[in-house]
Chains A and B, each alone.
Chain A
Amino acid sequence: MAEIKIKQVAKQYGNTHALHSIDMTVADEEFLVLLGASGCGKTTLLRIVAGLETATTGEVWIGDKRVDQLAPKDRGIAMVFQNYAVFPHLTVFENIAFGLRMSKVDQAEIDRRVEKTATLMHIEGLLKRYSGQLSGGQRQRVAVARALATEPEVLLMDEPLSNLDALLRMEMRAELKSVLAESKTTTIYVTHDQVEAMSMADRIAIMNGGKIVQASSAVEVYRNPAAHFVASFIGNPPMNFLSAENAGDGWWNVNGVKIKGPNSSSKTLKFAIRPEDIVVHGPSGNGSAANDDSLSAGVRILEPLGSHLLASCKVDDQLFRIVLDSDAKVSPGDTLQWSPQPDRVRWFDPESELAIN
């Protein structure tokens, strides 16, 4: 149980910058998820905290101890790896006991702690088996049990669920969340799966190009993406973007329609709206609620997804997705009249790609 402080950590491989001066604090008992596409630096950052890689510059603090010059074994961490890394030549019991034996815990205590964590992870019946006799999900449980058995101050998890199939992943996700909430261990969890991130995290740090772009709660990154990248990365489908031209006095011209926006002197902005935050007035020609404020969208492709109908349209020659009710009577080629829910519209500066409030 400790706080993690990352101070101006940067990592360079030759001329490429894997991490640009990262500053972040993970609060005690917090569950922080590092989310990003592959190559964004999230795993590198995790491995620097673990001590498996050395930062080019910067400091890492765990609790009130500076650890960036310490070996992994002296940092008070435990780690769960993507491919589980369950030792194949040891039984499940010995795997879980491994860290305890290294720190010279006496046998009675080892028995007790192995028993306890194995029960927690529901693998108490597998203690005599070898990893070759376990399924992927069971190996995953062993890996987590092995990490928890040492009662670390900090738990680091590197895509621990990505090798499991979809159904098992969902089950393990919920289970891990409850186990970790109970153990109250400060956790950094790396994943590329946004659903996983949103469902588990106290706070999500979204990384791109070796930087942390936004670090907030799940709802916050979804509702108020701090940057264009977050808006286009979070959400499935992601946010729609349309270019907007300054019409003066905080009004912006989006595809010929004036929309109230921020007061800004820049010539253009990006108008952004989530596909489900759109009010559709019906196909044109039906004569229903279409009015001056509505924009039009040409329907190209329809994907009936059960819970809703996803329409991929063209607005101003740009791809624009709209979530419709499953029963909506639409066909490709129709033109939809729509307007955004005013409180859900977000604006981004095309230069800095940051959100404007």
Chain B
Amino acid sequence: MSEANRFGSGPVQSAGSWHKYFFTGAVVLLCLWVLVPIYLLLVNTFSSPEAVASYPKKAFPVVDTESLKFFMNYAGVGQALWNSIKVATVTMILSISAGAPAGYALSRFDFRGKDTFRVLVLMTRAFPLPLLALPLAVMYIRVGLDDSVLGLAFVHTTLALPFAVLITYSLFSGIPIELEEAAWTLGCNRFQAFMKVIFPLVLPGIAASAIFAFVISWNEVFAAAVLTIENRTLPAFLLQGLSDSPLHLKFAGGAVLVLPALLFIFMVRKYLFSMWGIANR
């Protein structure tokens, strides 16, 4: 994507310098639009509870970790955090171990039913998936999965699986089949060729789609709130306490929710496009 200088560069530019200033101004403004709200949340997070409740607010805080400490020690937070990590990890494992083989099959084979499967995957995009939690809540009680990590992870996997399939599909498609064929002619069977040649090459991409699955689960609120009661994940826990908890608790909770997600998105930024580039067609 780096050679895509479509509007600014090109051969001869006749546009004046006012255009350049306008362009830079717009870019800076849009960056501020994204960053300032996050900064303000962090200001609140790193202020003392008193400062969070005070008025008017200051743009630069006196750094104080009292709010964060209060939040981390608040009853149920530790458990919710741990639940979130457990659910997200299971989601990650499930969606990759089911999604990657499917992505490989889609990229390497022609077979009857391939299009049906692709439609099924793409169809998940056209349905409001969190609603799945409603009937599953009933079903789970019957099979004993209610209020469980695994039950919620199943729903989150439904959210993450289509992405895992599409990302791995584009990853495998990006690796020339000749590499695999060369390995076959050099003495590998299919599995050996995959492990020795394909797997090392797709590993970073697989890791990225695993992280992506983790973030999807980490961020999901509705299904988590519907399906868990005692074993709340962090978003569900925060949602439940929204109406009655003090401000500094909300902001600290928000920050704890946001920061890991930001880190993860930073790690997978290279792969954000591969999944949509392929999904457009």
The residues of A with any CB-CB pair to B shorter than 8 Å are 50-52, 71-73, 77-79, 81-83, 85, 87-89, 98-99, 102-103, 146-147, 150, 156
Select one of B179, B188, B189 contacting A85, CB under 8 A: B179
Residues of A near B187 (CB, < 8 A) are 73, 99, 102-103, 150
How many residue pairs at the A-B interface have CB separations less than 8 Å? 60
User: Of all chain A residues, which has the CB nearest B110?
Assistant: A13
The residues of B with any CB-CB pair to A shorter than 8 Å are 176, 178-179, 181-189, 192, 196-197, 200-201
For the complex formed, measure the closest distance between the CB of B185 and the CB atoms of chain A, giving whole angstroms.
4
Residue contact B182 to A85, C-beta cutoff 8 Å: yes
| Also in contact, A73 and B188, with CB within 8 A (given A85-B182, A87-B182, A89-B201) | yes
| Also in contact, A79 and B200, with CB within 8 A (given A71-B189, A73-B189) | no
User: Of all chain A residues, which has the CB nearest B186?
Assistant: A99
For the complex formed, measure the closest distance between the CB of B196 and the CB atoms of chain A, giving whole angstroms.
8
CA distance A71 to B186 in the complex (A): 11
Name the 6 nearest CB pairs between A and B, nearest first: A102-B187, A99-B186, A85-B178, A85-B182, A72-B184, A79-B185
Q: Chain B: interface secondary structure?
A: helix
CA distance A28 to B181 in the complex (A): 25
For the complex formed, measure the closest distance between the CB of A169 and the CB atoms of chain B, giving whole angstroms.
19
CA distance A25 to B118 in the complex (A): 44
User: Of all chain B residues, which has the CB nearest A101?
Assistant: B187
Residue contact B186 to A98, C-beta cutoff 8 Å: yes
From B184, B185, B192, B196, residue with most partner A Cβ within 10 Å: B185
For the complex formed, measure the closest distance between the CB of A146 and the CB atoms of chain B, giving whole angstroms.
7
Residues of A near B185 (CB, < 8 A) are 50-52, 72-73, 77-79, 147, 156
User: Of all chain B residues, which has the CB nearest A82?
Assistant: B178
For the complex formed, measure the closest distance between the CB of A110 and the CB atoms of chain B, giving whole angstroms.
13
CA distance A88 to B201 in the complex (A): 8
Select one of B178, B183, B201 contacting A98, CB under 8 A: B183
Residues of A near B179 (CB, < 8 A) are 85, 87-88
From B183, B200, B201, residue with most partner A Cβ within 10 Å: B183
Select one of A51, A83, A89 contacting B176, CB under 8 A: A83
For the complex formed, measure the closest distance between the CB of B174 and the CB atoms of chain A, giving whole angstroms.
12
9 pairs of residues in contact across A and B, judged by CB atoms under 8 Å: A51-B184, A52-B181, A52-B185, A81-B178, A83-B178, A89-B197, A102-B186, A103-B187, A146-B186
Residue contact A79 to B192, C-beta cutoff 8 Å: no
Residues of B near A99 (CB, < 8 A) are 186-187
6 A-B pairs besides A82-B178, A85-B176, A98-B183 with CB distance below 8 A are A78-B185, A79-B182, A81-B182, A87-B182, A103-B187, A150-B187
Residue contact A89 to B200, C-beta cutoff 8 Å: yes
User: Of all chain B residues, which has the CB nearest A79?
Assistant: B185
Residues of B near A83 (CB, < 8 A) are 176, 178
Residue contact A81 to B186, C-beta cutoff 8 Å: no
Residues of B near A82 (CB, < 8 A) are 178
CA distance A73 to B185 in the complex (A): 5
Residues of B near A87 (CB, < 8 A) are 179, 182-183, 197
User: Of all chain B residues, which has the CB nearest A102?
Assistant: B187
Residue contact B184 to A73, C-beta cutoff 8 Å: yes
